A and B are shown apart, each in its own frame.
Chain A
């Protein structure tokens, strides 16, 4: 118990020792942060309770925006698409990234080349990724040509123009880019695992899967928290790639909350309604992150 109470006392002594000038220097970025980040964010909470088109004063409408939201079919579609997106984007990029990291972890000839090649898409902006994939998905693009070449003409379709495939086509493009990033995170995690544990397990006769599941995986817990947080945040804020590829179309079939918010806010100037969507996105992100962090810390304590 003494070790728990001691550090705060030491920290308090430290606080007093900080010169006043330093506080002043700290105050400036704090004010900038409050003025440029927190104040607008709080404002959007207020705006979500109003009707405002950017002209004159915002009209308070109570919870009407939220009531309308849940009666809005496009919004519900976008919410559902976001669920598909979070599961698909998160699941595929984590599975793919982890598999690649494990495969490319051991030093081997040319492994650096593979790692860089897989990480390469990450240096492209999502907008460029979107444009690149849009070309592949064109009716006469690479993908349909390839399918035709191997005799799968029946599978050929207009990937981005078909409401049944548009969202998934964009999802694949996004995962293609994200997987390299997740791989690098896991590679870093794998570097910090203890190879002797792995060797010991191998000597004890554990198979490759058992060694991964019971020896390596538990050691990756720290990285998992990071990957989970990054992926959830990335999937909720996904906007640019969808905008570049389909703009939520055809007829809202690939609409995400973020694209719908952008359209409502910046194309139609329904700023109150758009703020309400922003609040929903914020709450969703918060729920995910908090529940996960709470669970992660509990596990750590246990």
Chain B
């Protein structure tokens, strides 16, 4: 969930984080006394502290009979800050929640993550996962990550509202702009976007426009620092972004992503490019009316790419019980555990295991599965494909751009300078 780390920042988990961090730091240095206990009990360190996912994981872990498992839930802020300490300590947690992407690869390259390649071959728990997921979980030729669920991004809207306004789902950029124009003429903000306390939402459009115009390959390379943010390719992206600015609800600048869902559900805004986690913020009576469409195609010659942030688990290389950790990972990746978790967590996430029966899932979710199956390339999200530090350079640049679209060249030059500093270090 690219949403979770950021949204919860607003709730000051951070403050607790500082305290917890120093305490945990103290523990980590003096933890060799529990070495004996580690082999009999497995520790699962979880950052899923929202009530529903937390309850779901607790239930799933209770269903694991082989080894007793201690589930530690820690707010994402402290979890992120302490992750190196966890992995580096003498007696680390055996299995940890995390997400696929560059951060996991970074830890893998330092040798902190357990090689779980055997789960991906033969009759391993991940053997039937898609090749795209396998590639995503691979670092230096080894698999180090076990993805268990993922979600899609799309332009969400209310079916009844589109009917009222007499607009059709657009498939091309020109159609999309025309829809925006029509909706605006009805006195409704065409696009909702909460970039106040969650400025990362602004990267959604940036990612997608870049994927549609320059393609997934270029996008990944850009985030890896191989291209310049003030180059001609990104300028084209920003030209398109600029066409959207007049249609974006200006009040969104004060909203969090959750706040910005309200105008959409009350039909004061038309559309919202956001992840499938939006369903958790929509009242139950409006969920059935909620639908989404693929971000319109701009250049038909560019292979269609979608964002599908993937969550899952990895294990610590220093685990005292690597066999036990792998068995726990296999259990968490198994179809029944995935299904149980997704349903109890009340999320619209998709299972990574193809053995999960998805026919009972909501029609919206089935449409999401279809969307991803039809796409040629999968990306994660800006922060997951790069780093949280590069994400803040994007936040600064894009929110500034939304305020002053005329300064785009200056903003992109600044973005490139700060990105270079982050990528250089």
Contacts and interface: CB of A to CB of B under 8 A. Distances in A.
Interface of A: 40, 53-56, 127, 137-140, 158-161, 163, 239-240, 243-244, 246-247, 249-252, 262-263, 265-270
Contacts of B410: none
B399 A250 contact: yes
Contacts of B250: 158
A253 to B, nearest CB: 10
A249 B84 contact: no
B81 interface: yes
Contacts of B88: 54-56
A138 B255 CA distance: 8
Contacts of A265: 81
B403 A250 contact: yes
B400 interface: yes
A246 B196 CA distance: 8
A161 B253 contact: yes
A268 B81 CA distance: 8
Contact of A243 (B12, B80, B251): B12
Contacts of A138: 254, 259
Contacts of B80: 266-267
Contacts of B81: 54, 265-267, 269
- Nearest 5 Cβ contacts at the A-B interface: A54-B84, A161-B253, A139-B251, A266-B81, A268-B389
B254 A161 contact: yes
A243 B392 CA distance: 15
Given A54-B84, A269-B81, A160 B18 contact: no
B392 to A, nearest CB: 7
A249 B251 contact: no
Contacts of A140: 251
A125 to B, nearest CB: 9
Nearest to B199: A249
B311 interface: no
Contact of B84 (A55, A244, A270): A55
B18 A267 contact: no
A250 B199 contact: yes
A127 B12 contact: yes
Contact of A262 (B14, B387, B389, B392): B14
Contacts of A163: 403
A243 B196 contact: no
Nearest to A239: B15
A16 to B, nearest CB: 37
Q: Indicate the member of A159, A252, A263, A266 with the most B CB atoms within 10 Å.
A: A266
Given A240-B15, A266-B18, 4 more contacts: A40-B22, A249-B197, A250-B199, A266-B81
A36 to B, nearest CB: 8
A267 B422 CA distance: 13
Q: Indicate the member of B17, B80, B253, B388 with the most A CB atoms within 10 Å.
A: B253
